[in-house]
Amino acid sequence: MSTTKRPKASPAKKAKPAPKPAPKRKAARPSDDDDDDDDAESEDDAQPSKPTRGKTKEKPAASSKAQPPAPTRVERATKPEKPDKPDKSDKSDKADKAKKPESTAKPDSDKSKVDDKPDGKARVTTKAVASSTGAAAATPPRPEYTLDGPAPPEGKDLPAKVGALLGIAQQTLGIKSFRPGQAEAFEHLLANENLLAVMPTGSGKSLLYQLTSLIVPGVTVVVSPLIALIKDQLDKMVAKGVAACKIDSTLTVKQRREVDAMLHAPGGKLLLTTPERMAMPEFREFLRDASAGIGVSRFVVDEAHCVSQWGHDFRPAYLSLRQAIEELGNPPVLATTATAPPHVRDDILFQLGIEGSTIVTTTFDRPNLHYEVIVFGDDDEKMKTLVTLLKKLPRPGIVYCATVKKVEELYESLTRWGVPVAKYNGRMNKGDRDASQNAFMASSDLVMIATNAFGLGVDKANIRNVLHYHVPGSVEAYAQEAGRGGRDGKPARCVLLFSPDDVNIQEYFLTGTYPTKRQVRSVFDTLTAFGNMAKESHRLTEETPPNVANIALSSSVGQQRTRTVLSLLKDEGFVTEADGLYSIADPPPDLDVLMDRARQYEARRIMDRQRLDALLGYVKAPGCRSQVILEYLGEPNPPKCGRCDNCLRSREAALAASTEATRLGASLTRLLDDDGIAIAKPRREIKARIVRIDQPAPVLVDPNA
């Protein structure tokens, strides 16, 4: 493993709030029938980009061994250029499934002591600290750990504190050794430095904050994008003995009281919540007094690429986190993500106000994944191939589709073909989604047909194939979705089924997600005219109310695009809506600010188009597919994988050429024997050389010449 050490990062400096980038509204795509809603389980569908104006509304939500990646890089990030000028060269991590730990405290006592032992285990001092179940109810106390014990044998080559931390991990979580990148990350975390960990899915990013939460006295806050993902993480943490709880819109009044009591008790604990919740000023005030006044000891941003406007899954609610970090006293920040190209990493640090912090990255290479692309001329041919693959390939598996409509079609068709399938998309109700996911998790034979709403929080190790019926929107999204296969280290097939119509679907999404400057100005001017008309005549307003249909008609912008513009302007606070009627906000926005925001929408559309083009480059690449992915994600000089379809095709071509050369050589030898042609050297030497295609051809002499 090669590691490049840079100077340690200095503590985070307070920075002026970053300029707010344009929100990405997936829910505003052109067609409600064809669009996938992967934000369906977030706390706030609107996802305000200026969340500190008031309370954010909530709505109810809905044993694996990862392939160990090799080299780790530790970088010093430089301050990025302005975020509105991204690099032109261009979707969730799960905790490792570990055996349930044995309690180090006596069941009938709140205090115990474990002395140093000759086997090298870390010394543990125990104090009474509350824990929580997945239902957010208090459980018996857990011990609080210190780092003054010796390292276990597996940690003898690690820095002293990191080695002692490994001893705690062995004793509490059943983890034998750290994975690549974890020890380097822990070294910076134990020094209370800000850190960005860019490590592939299944590499154990969540251990970074779970384990360190055991040794700090305050609250470790973990911000995660989806309520369902929070629940999944919480269940796993509690099962491992980590003192953890959650606060989101699904808690009952009684559960919230129990969690509040736990958070105000002394000792370290871990709190999972949403970015919408962190946007509430009263919630940040509550956290400042947590843990008997100690407050927040570490601030963790999970799925950190969501904070970058140049990331493949930008969520405006994440923009409130910079202000939250500052108001909580600038605690050490840990940001984690599975996929982030270099320019996105810089933007993550910028948006969180921790520019110049250390970045730890590990290789994204997954030697057990076999990438393949199959190109089709029509959908019928693609469907037949899909059925053949699913009947031939080992299961379980996942088939990703770009639209809800196609998920339903494939589910019905594959059921008729006798393929055992389940389905999942953001438009299904929570009960149906949960039932489908639970069935898939428990099965060794099911194939999940899903949109990209499926995947976050899914920790299934034995997925043997991941097929894409449509191209996703970016290389990052494809790498993350394909990376859900083969987490047990065994071979998995990642097959992309491509047809030209796939591009049309993604372009359709792009045009519906981001309006042009002209469309923004036209809708805004129309709303202004409606407002002036209301002042002059109430009767006219009653006859022609400012709803989506009338605004679209008056502005000459289609209804779907008008809906997109109004949704974006509402998020910005530029317009208000009541009972489906829209009006300009009071006071009205500055026109220059409005047009600047419109320019950002266009910039995001261009960036998303570049990401789509990069994925099409992957589809058409003649060389190693793994190289294309790794180079895009910023990995320097990746080797050829030797296992993707292109690598295997090149190997077969070389083998065929060698076989043909050998065949021709044998034919020539027979010709020499038959015609009695004399040669200048003994025949046996010629025969030996003639099959060596890397040697010059022998000189033949015609005796009749």
Q: How far apart are CA 259 and CA 291, in angstroms?
A: 12
Q: Are residues 617 and 659 in the same domain?
A: no
Please state, as a whole number, how many other Cβ atoms lie within 10 Å of the Cβ of residue 529.
14
Q: How far apart are CA 148 and CA 125, in angstroms?
A: 10
Q: Which residues contact 691 (CB under 8 A, 6 or more apart)?
A: 661, 662, 665, 666
* Cβ proximity of 261 and 183 under 8 Å: no
Locus of tokens 């609250």: 219
Q: Which two tokens stand for residue 423?
A: 């389905």
79 pLDDT more than 50: no
Q: How far apart are CA 196 and CA 335, in angstroms?
A: 5
Q: How confident is the model at residue 590 (pLDDT cuts 50, 70, 90)?
A: confident
Q: How confident is the model at residue 515 (pLDDT cuts 50, 70, 90)?
A: confident
* Cβ proximity of 272 and 224 under 8 Å: yes
Classify residue 415 by its DSSP letter: H
Q: Are residues 238 and 304 in the same domain?
A: yes
Q: How far apart are CA 192 and CA 97, in angstroms?
A: 27
pLDDT of residue 129: 35
Q: Which has more pLDDT, 89 or 410?
A: 410
Q: Are residues 380 and 435 in the same domain?
A: yes
Q: Name the range with the highest mean pLDDT among 28-32, 57-61, 141-145, 302-306.
A: 302-306
Q: How confident is the model at residue 670 (pLDDT cuts 50, 70, 90)?
A: low
251 pLDDT more than 60: yes
From 302, 336, 362, give the residue that closes a domain. 362
Q: How far apart are CA 126 and CA 241, in angstroms?
A: 14
Residue 110, amino acid? D
What would the pLDDT profile of 435-447 be if each residue is shown by its tens digit? 999 999 999 999 9
Please state, as a whole number, how many other Cβ atoms lie within 10 Å of the Cβ of residue 6.
12
Q: Name the range with the highest mean pLDDT among 108-122, 146-160, 450-464, 482-496.
A: 482-496
Q: How far apart are CA 207 and CA 278, in angstroms?
A: 22
CATH of the domain at 572: 1.10.10.10
Q: How confident is the model at residue 144 (pLDDT cuts 50, 70, 90)?
A: low
Instruction: Name the CA radius of gyration of the chain, rounded.
Output: 29
Instruction: Using alpha carbons, select from 78, 88, 82 the residue that is nearest to residue 6.
Output: 78
Q: Are residues 543 and 655 in the same domain?
A: no
Q: For residue 152, is the peptide bond before it cis, meaning its omega torsion is within 30 degrees of 0?
A: no
From 362, 386, 403, give the residue that closes a domain. 362
* Cβ proximity of 477 and 340 under 8 Å: no
Mean pLDDT of 496-505: 93
Q: Which two tokens stand for residue 130?
A: 């509350």
Instruction: Using alpha carbons, select from 79, 302, 110 the residue that is nearest to residue 209.
Output: 302
Q: How far apart are CA 448 and CA 441, in angstroms?
A: 10
* Cβ proximity of 473 and 504 under 8 Å: no
pLDDT of residue 538: 67
Q: Which two tokens stand for residue 238?
A: 């509690």
Q: What is the pTM of this model?
A: 0.70
Q: Which residues of 67-98 are buried (b: 16+ CB within 10 A; e: fewer)?
A: bbbebbbbbebeebeebeebbeebbbbbbbbb
pLDDT of residue 30: 41
Q: What's the chain's length in residues? A: 705
595-to-47, 467, 517, 524, 588 alpha-carbon distances in Å: 21, 41, 7, 10, 14
Q: Report percent pLDDT > 70 for the chain.
A: 71
Q: Which two tokens stand for residue 257?
A: 């009281």
What mean pLDDT is reported for the chain? Answer: 77
DSSP helix/strand/coil, 158: coil
What would the pLDDT profile of 380-395 be if each residue is shown by its tens digit? 999 999 999 999 999 9
Q: How far apart are CA 247 and CA 277, in angstroms?
A: 8
Q: Which has more pLDDT, 592 or 536?
A: 592
Tell me whether residue 579 is in a domain. yes
Locus of tokens 């509040």: 260
What would the pLDDT profile of 593-634 be if each residue is shown by its tens digit? 888 888 888 888 888 999 999 999 999 999 999 999 999 999
Q: How far apart are CA 22 and CA 25, in angstroms?
A: 9
CATH of the domain at 30: 3.40.50.300
Q: Are residues 135 and 158 in the same domain?
A: yes
Q: Within its chain, how far is the Cα of 130 from the centroid?
A: 31
pLDDT of residue 589: 83
Q: For residue 587, is the peptide bond before it cis, meaning its omega torsion is within 30 degrees of 0?
A: yes
235 pLDDT more than 80: yes
- 645-675 vs 683-690: helix crossing angle, rounded to 10: 160
Q: Are residues 583 and 622 in the same domain?
A: no
Tell me whether residue 14 is in a domain. no
Tell me whether residue 677 is in a domain. yes
Q: Are residues 45 and 86 in the same domain?
A: yes
Residue 597, amino acid? R
Q: Tell me the backbone φ, ψ of residue 290, rounded to 5 degrees.
A: -70, 165
Q: How far apart are CA 293 and CA 235, in angstroms?
A: 27
391, β-bridge pairs: none
What would the pLDDT profile of 182-218 be if each residue is shown by its tens digit? 999 999 999 999 999 999 877 889 999 999 998 888 8
Q: How far apart are CA 326 and CA 12, in angstroms?
A: 10
Count of the separate structural domains present in the chain: 4
Mean pLDDT of 130-146: 47
Q: Which residues of 647-662 are buried (b: 16+ CB within 10 A; e: fewer)?
A: beebeeeeeeeeeeee
Q: Which two tokens stand for residue 704?
A: 């009749």
Q: Name the range with the highest mean pLDDT among 409-423, 533-547, 561-575.
A: 409-423
Domain that holds residue 471: 369-507+608-643
DSSP helix/strand/coil, 67: coil
Tell me whether residue 373 is in a domain. yes
Q: Are residues 258 and 124 in the same domain?
A: yes
Environment class of residue 616 by beta-carbon count within 10 Å: exposed (0-12), middle (13-18) or buried (19+)?
A: middle
Q: Strands 269-273 and 296-301: what pairing?
A: unpaired
From 329, 362, 395, give the residue that closes a domain. 362
179-to-204, 205, 256, 509, 669 alpha-carbon distances in Å: 7, 10, 36, 39, 57
Q: Which two tokens stand for residue 245?
A: 């709880």
Tell me whether residue 2 is in a domain. no
Q: Are residues 179 and 252 in the same domain?
A: yes
Tell me whether residue 385 is in a domain. yes
681 pLDDT more than 60: no
Tell me whether residue 79 is in a domain. yes
Q: Report percent pLDDT > 90 for the chain.
A: 39
Q: Are residues 334 and 185 in the same domain?
A: yes
Q: What is the maximum span of the chain, computed from C-alpha positions, in angstroms? A: 113
* Cβ proximity of 520 and 594 under 8 Å: yes
Q: Are residues 623 and 691 in the same domain?
A: no
29 pLDDT more than 50: no
Q: Are residues 96 and 237 in the same domain?
A: yes
* Cβ proximity of 234 and 134 under 8 Å: yes
Strand order in the sheet with 219-223: 72-76, 358-362, 195-198, 333-337, 296-301, 219-223, 269-273, 244-247
463 pLDDT more than 90: yes
- DSSP character string of 14-43: P-PPPPPPPP--GGG-S-TTT---TTTTSS
Distance between start and end Cα atoms, the chain: 64
60 pLDDT more than 80: no
Mean pLDDT of 291-318: 86
Point out the least confidently predicted range of 22-31, 172-181, 196-205.
22-31
Tell me whether residue 9 is in a domain. no
